[in-house]
């Protein structure tokens, strides 16, 4: 019996469509996973950081506690110091989605473990002291400790502007070269203009300040600020314990606020050289979500009384720098 050519052709078409559907499904799955990785919920990022950071610290402490005088103490101590540096690197790589409190707690914990490592080394393998070389040994120890502390400091401290009143600060891309995360802390009656890109920006304890920040590829964290006007372009905007401030922002996702009052939100009012290129490099697309605010302390259907959208007649003038 001869095969029906139409049936054979139909079978081939079916197999081709089936294979194409499988490929399309696989591609869709890969695209979804990629998009989810790029747009991961900040809370998931924080949870992942907490887990990894705690595991690293716990592992270092367990190895430290298991050391005995019979072990090659100095060699193991250096290994633990290198492991602790990876904790610092993890913390620095995560500052764009961590709040200021978590960063400070992480820095404190790293410093605490550094002291534990030094104390253990001193107890298990104290430096030998000889009368004829005491000064040389002391100088060598001092220099070594200074180098370690300088390296630790460079790993842990965020660059920024702190503890100033009545100042005007302009930061250009040249000034900010090599800086990924920046902190403004304890400033009063100041104007700060940063016409450069950053991975993250932290503002803590600002009073009556005017702030203008360029494109931030990650998050902007604002904590404990009052009576300020803040311009920033970012992917995520998180505001805590802040009162009577105006935010003129480009933000890719709706701002998140908690324990706030008297906040106003409007469109970005800062213009500076190469702004369009900076926006493109940070992946900013579409319209700003400045008016899609999520108040974590207001769970009712009615609009939160803690924030409002600023109407056009009350916008501040556009700030332009050349």
| Residue 92 CB contacts under 8 Å (≥ 6 apart), including other chains | 155, 180, 181
For 78-131, write each residue's pLDDT tens digit.
Answer: 899 889 888 888 887 777 677 767 777 787 788 888 888 888 888 887 766 544
Residue with more model confidence, 17 or 187: 187
3-state secondary structure of 115: helix
Cβ atoms of residues 80 and 135 within 8 Å = no
Of the candidates 185, 189, 307, 165, the one whose C-alpha atom is nearest the C-alpha of residue 243 is 307
Q: What is the pLDDT of residue 175?
A: 93
In which residue are the tokens 């190895």 written? 63
The residues facing 207 across adjacent strands are 188, 226
Characterize the bridge pairing of strands 294-295 and 256-258: parallel
Is residue 192 over pLDDT 90?
Answer: yes
Q: Tell me which DSSP letter residue 241 carries.
A: S
Residue with more model confidence, 155 or 11: 11
For 133-176, write each residue's pLDDT tens digit.
Answer: 445 445 445 554 544 444 444 344 578 999 999 999 999 999 99
Rounded to a whole number of angstroms, the distance between the first and last alpha carbons of the chain is 84
Task: Tell me, rounded to whole angstroms, the distance of Cα 189 from its chain centroid.
Answer: 26
Q: How far apart are CA 59 and CA 53, in angstroms?
A: 10
Find the mean pLDDT for residues 59-72.
89
3-state secondary structure of 233: strand
pTM listed for this prediction? 0.58
Q: What's the mean per-residue pLDDT of the chain?
A: 83
Element (H, E) at 105: helix 100-124
* Domains observed in the chain: 42-156 (1.20.58.1250), 159-320 (2.160.20.70)
Q: How far apart are CA 309 and CA 288, in angstroms?
A: 13
């Amino acid at each position: 019996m001869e095969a029906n050519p139409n049936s054979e052709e139909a079978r081939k078409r079916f197999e081709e469509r089936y294979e194409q559907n499988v490929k399309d499904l696989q591609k869709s799955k890969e695209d979804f996973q990629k998009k989810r990785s790029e747009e991961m919920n900040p809370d998931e990022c924080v949870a992942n950081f907490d887990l990894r950071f705690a595991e690293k610290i716990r592992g270092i402490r367990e190895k430290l506690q298991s050391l005995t005088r019979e072990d090659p103490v100095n060699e193991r101590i250096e290994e633990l110091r290198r492991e602790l540096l990876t904790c610092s690197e993890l913390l620095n790589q995560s500052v764009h989605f961590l709040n200021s409190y978590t960063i400070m707690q992480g820095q404190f914990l790293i410093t605490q473990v550094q002291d534990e490592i030094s104390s253990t080394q001193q107890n298990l393998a104290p430096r030998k002291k000889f009368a004829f070389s005491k000064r040389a040994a002391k100088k060598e120890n001092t220099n070594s400790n200074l180098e370690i502390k300088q390296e630790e400091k460079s790993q842990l401290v965020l660059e920024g502007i702190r503890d100033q009143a009545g100042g005007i600060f302009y930061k250009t891309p040249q000034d900010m070269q090599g800086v990924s995360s920046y902190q403004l802390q304890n400033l009063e009656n100041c104007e700060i203009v940063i016409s450069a890109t950053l991975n993250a920006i932290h503002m803590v304890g600002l009073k009556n300040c005017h702030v203008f920040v360029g494109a931030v590829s990650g998050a902007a964290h604002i904590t404990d600020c009052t009576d300020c006007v803040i311009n920033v372009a970012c992917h995520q905007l998180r505001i805590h314990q802040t009162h009577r401030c105006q935010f003129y922002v480009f933000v890719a996702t709706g701002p998140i606020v908690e324990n706030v009052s008297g906040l106003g939100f409007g469109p970005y009012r800062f213009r500076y050289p190469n702004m369009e290129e900076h926006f493109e490099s940070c992946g900013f697309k579409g319209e700003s979500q400045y008016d899609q605010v999520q108040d974590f302390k207001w769970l009712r259907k009615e609009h939160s009384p803690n924030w409002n959208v600023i109407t056009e007649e009350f916008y501040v003038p556009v700030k332009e720098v050349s």
